[in-house]
Amino acid sequence: MKERAMETYVLEVAGEPVMAFRAEDEEETQELVHGEESENGIKTTLLEYLREGGQPLWDGVSELTVRSATAEEHQEWQTSRDDAIEAGDDPDGFDAFLIPIIDPQEEDDCIAA
C-alpha cells in the first residue's frame, strides 16, 4: 500500500493563525483538532501554553478552524522542525507555533515564531 504524502495545515483560533502541523488530509486534520483524540492532543496543547503576554492561546470555547498552510507558513513549520531535529528533539508529529508563546512548565522560556 502506498503511503500518502503529508501536507502542512494551520490551526486558527478565532481567525488567528496559531499553529502549523502536518496531516495526510483534511479529514485527519479535523480528527486531530475536533475528534476524541484531540482532547489529549492539540486542544490540550492550546490550553497548556500561553501567549507571550501571558494570556491563554485558546479560551476553550473560541472557534478552532483548520486550513492549508501558505508557502510562508509551511516554511516556518519546516524551519522550526529542522531546528528541533538539530537540537535532538523527536520530529515525529511536530507542531510549530506561528506566534510567540510561553511554556509555563519552563519559566522565562519563550519560544518565538
pLDDT tens digits for range 28-43: 998 888 877 655 668 8
pLDDT class for 93, splitting at 50, 70, 90?
confident
- Give residue 13's pLDDT: 95
Q: How many domains does the chain have?
A: 1
Contact, 96 vs 19, CB < 8 A? yes
Among 84, 109, 97, residue whose Cα is nearest residue 10: 97
Asked whether residue 62 is assigned to any structural domain, the reply reads yes
Mean pLDDT of 87-111: 76
Full residue range of the structural domain in which residue 106 is found: 7-111
- Give residue 89's pLDDT: 81
**0.85 exceeded by the pTM?**
no
Asked whether residue 1 is assigned to any structural domain, the reply reads no
Asked whether residue 69 is assigned to any structural domain, the reply reads yes
Helices within the chain (DSSP H only): 26-34, 42-48, 71-86
Of the chain, the percentage scoring pLDDT greater than 90 comes to 46
Asked whether residue 23 is assigned to any structural domain, the reply reads yes
d(CA 18, CA 10): 7
- Give residue 110's pLDDT: 46
Asked whether residue 2 is assigned to any structural domain, the reply reads no
